[in-house]
Amino acid sequence: MKSLIETIEQKFTVNHTDEAIGNDHILTSTETPLRVDAFVLSDDKKKQKISKLFAEIMTVLGLDLTDDSLKGTPHRVAKMYVEELFSGLHPKHKPKITLFDNKYQYNQMLVEKDITFYSNCEHHFVPIIGKAHVAYISSGKVIGLSKLNRIVQYYAKRPQVQERLTNQIANELMNVLQTKDVAVIIDAKHLCVASRGIKDDTSSTVTVFYGGQFNTEKKITELQNYLKL
């Protein structure tokens, strides 16, 4: 009987073109690539399967799973993947948003800066660590400040490419706030660059989205001045 690893190896044969795309961090989709049956399995079933698969990976690497320190690792990794690192894949974790009337008549930009997030590069499954800055101008409705953070965290908790993450946060804010006057700036360090490959630990990546009124030199300058405070 074929092992799960052998089955996966047959299905996903290494392709040099596919490997190059991942190494060069090429964005292939603005939406997270999900299969149509992505949510057929329950979370418990997913954890059981991931635990078995990760145990086999550890075995292939030569690790002794009878060791007290290692024998619980497959379960811990499976739980971490499903409940924490990649919980943003499931729509059930999407934050519920309530809008409020802009009774204060505050018509200038609102900026929530330095939102710390942890994500994972979809090409190597190693961490992306960064800060997101989001801003919007009310169209008559406002959102609770903590919800801005929750939207960032929701989209960060999935295998990601930074450009996609930036656009997903912006699109969600525009949809929820019913306005195009939204800006998103992300400054992040990719451990796939820092800890492997080129091993550059000093560089960071910046991506931006400017929508509506923010897509003007005046508003961009104003926003950048706020971020310097």
If one counts every other C-beta atom within 10 angstroms of the C-beta of residue 133, the result is 20
Closest CA to 31 of 122, 137, 135: 122
Greatest CA separation found in the chain? 68
Which two three-digit tokens encode residue 115?
Answer: 């939102």
Segments of the chain assigned E as strands? 99-101, 109-121, 127-137, 141-143, 159-160, 182-190, 205-210
Q: Which residues are catalytic?
A: 121-124, 162, 190, 192
> Residue written as tokens 């799960």?
4
